[in-house]
Amino acid sequence: MALLPPIPLYRRLFRAHRKHLPHEMRLLGDEYIKAEFRAHRNVDNPAHLIGFLTEWQLYAQKIEGDSWVGDKLDPEKVEKMSDQQIGQLYELMKAIQKRHDDGNKE
């Protein structure tokens, strides 16, 4: 798998969201993509950049192929996450649950 440069990958992610996600999930996903790419804009460590871009590219492939539905996180990847990353994941989970609950109330 050839690694896409950041800007084409960024655009691909938004196109994948627009084409494959329901409106509410798309809004949340788009916000998350923007925040993550902004947070990694000034990262200088090549290993971190390659890991970041690789994971986002795998995510784009999953979204485009619809293989993500009902998919669970890889326990090995969770084990490698920092406390901050796990906290971000928890916040994302809570935001998804809140949007889901708010959508069911209407």
- Kindly report which listed range (11-15, 48-52, 82-86) carries the lowest average pLDDT score: 82-86
Domain boundaries, the chain: 6-105
Residue 20, exposed/middle/buried by CB under 10 A (0-12, 13-18, 19+)?
Answer: middle
Q: What Å distances lie between residue 45 and 49, 52, 59, 76, CA to CA? A: 6, 11, 21, 22
pLDDT computed for residue 7 by the predictor: 95
Give mean pLDDT, residues 31-59: 93
4 in Cβ contact with 12 (< 8 Å):
yes
Question: Which pLDDT band holds residue 1 (cuts at 50, 70, 90)?
Answer: low
Between these two residues, 10 and 99, which has the higher pLDDT value? 10
Across the chain, what does the average pLDDT equal?
Answer: 87
pLDDT value of position 85: 85
